[in-house]
A = this chain, B = another copy of it.
Amino acid sequence: MSEPEIPKDEHPFWFREPRTAKGCTLELKATRIVHSARSEYQAIVIFDTEDHGRVFTLDGLVMTTEADEYMYHEMLVHVPMFAHAAPRRVLVIGGGDGGSIREVLRHPGVEEAVIVEIDEMVIDAARRFMPYTASGFDDPRVRIVVGEGHAHIKEHADSYDIVIIDSTDPTYGAGGLLFTTQFYEDCRRALREGGLLSAETENPFYDPGWVQMAWRRLRRAFDDVRLYLGYVPVYPGALWTYTVASIGPDPQGDFRAADASKISRALRYYNPDVHAGAFALPNFIKRVLAEAGD
């Protein structure tokens, strides 16, 4: 059911998202409400804007926008993928908009890319209303599993070269289960030899506690854990942390730079210099990690 177009510059609808509990709010002016639905899990609302293109929200929080989704998905995916010698089987947990799967499929060696998303209506909405983001779903290498990520991973020991955790924030719905020590240990067991995991781990300025929680718990499950940085303008704080955990390769110093250079010609954010530079952490972020505890 489509909804009526909002007359431009006449009755603007403002989407308001509190960025912190203490008084920092982002407002985006919507030019058109594209889709509005309620699934078993959440309210899905999609609207158009002039600055950010089409915006995809769940329960009033921006999940992705047409204008900057590539920044997030390229950094979440290509850093672990190019750190692996030859990734063939890849798992994406969450990421129902499809952006991570689309980036995984750019790697010609990938034989199977599995996505486990809890909410089928998110996938359907992305297919209909964010076709570029969702463009990987019809690739024959993709298998879509509608279900819980933490259950799937438990049943797939020694199965994947790369696990990508494309979750919502830890306090949001089922997303919290994807930030537990148990889940990370199951992820480690799901990795094949030489495997890596990457996870989105939130903003270090406004939400240092979330960065620390993921850091602390991932380090309980993995020996080699590193934080790296990217930029996603519409996310709270815009500077985004990702955490990569490895049971083999050194994701910072030893990635496939020549392959990365070739594929990055088709990309809009990631390139080999960005890969190397993303691990350079400002002092305040080093301090956040140092204070994360064990």
Enumerate chain A interface residues (CB-CB to B < 8 A): 12, 14, 20, 22-31, 49-52, 68, 71, 205-206, 231, 233, 237-239, 264, 267-271, 273-274, 276-284, 287
Tallying the copies of this chain within the complex gives: 2
Q: Which of B264, B273, B282 contacts A271 (CB 8 A)?
A: B282
Q: Which residues of B contact A264 (CB under 8 A)?
A: 283
Q: Is the CB of A24 within 8 A of B20?
A: no
CA distance A68 to B274 in the complex (A): 24
Q: Which residues of B contact A71 (CB under 8 A)?
A: 282, 284
Q: How far is the CB of A108 from chain B (nearest CB, A)?
A: 20
Q: Which residues of B contact A12 (CB under 8 A)?
A: 23
Query: Nearest chain-B residue to A16 (Cβ)?
Result: B27
CA distance A253 to B17 in the complex (A): 41
Q: Which of B26, B29, B276, B282 contacts A231 (CB 8 A)?
A: B282
Q: How far is the CB of A51 from chain B (nearest CB, A)?
A: 5
Q: Which residues of B contact A205 (CB under 8 A)?
A: 68, 231, 233
Q: How far is the CB of A290 from chain B (nearest CB, A)?
A: 13
Q: Which of B51, B277, B278 contacts A276 (CB 8 A)?
A: B277
CA distance A50 to B268 in the complex (A): 36
Query: Nearest chain-B residue to A237 (Cβ)?
Result: B233
Q: Which residues of B contact A14 (CB under 8 A)?
A: 23, 25
Q: Is the CB of A24 within 8 A of B26?
A: yes
Q: How far is the CB of A67 from chain B (nearest CB, A)?
A: 8
CA distance A257 to B68 in the complex (A): 34
Q: Which residues of B contact A231 (CB under 8 A)?
A: 205, 238-239, 282
Q: Is the CB of A51 within 8 A of B20?
A: yes
Q: Is the CB of B25 within 8 A of A27?
A: yes
